[in-house]
Amino acid sequence: MRAPPPIDISLTRFGCWRGALAILALGTGAVIAAWLLASADAQPPALRVGVALAAVLALGALLSAARVAAVELGWDGAHWSCAVLDGGRAGPPLPGELTVAIDLGSWLLLRFAAADPQGGRLRVRWLPVQRRGLEPQWHALRCAVHAPMPAREPR
């Protein structure tokens, strides 16, 4: 089986990801508000305050996950790289490993893991990728992310 051809793709549109997180946040908030209103007399005040605080923290985490930096994702036929786009210009590319976490056909959640160049620790970036805006490159991207990695040379 031959490897997919090299690709470079700019990931700049995250509307589906942000919409899904907004729906999840609204649904979570509505359920917790309904529980707080329904159990106003049955639950101790400390429990209601704790649940409200946990809900605010969870909603904050969901909203912070909605902020995704635009990136340039590259596949050279053997290795993946990812560079953050700042003002339309790509920063230095980091080599790493890309895995598919979720594949819904026209939407992917990818996990890019790279060693930090300064500290050596692993840096993970989650990349929500939607087909909209990438139609000409979508098939090539899906082929590349699902292709088996080439055999590594022994050291």
- Decide: helix, strand or coil at residue 146: helix
Which of 8-12, 30-34, 147-151 is modeled with the greatest confidence? 8-12
CA-CA distance, 86 to 94, in Å (whole number)? 15
Q: Return the ∠ at Cα 101 (arms to 97 and 105), rounded to 5°.
A: 115
* Average confidence (pLDDT) over 4-10: 87
pLDDT of 154 over the 70 cut:
no
Tens of pLDDT along 41-87? 777 878 878 888 888 888 787 777 778 888 999 998 888 999 988 87
What pTM does this model have? Answer: 0.76
pLDDT of 1 over the 60 cut:
no
Of the listed ranges 8-17, 116-125, 134-143, the least confidently predicted one is 116-125
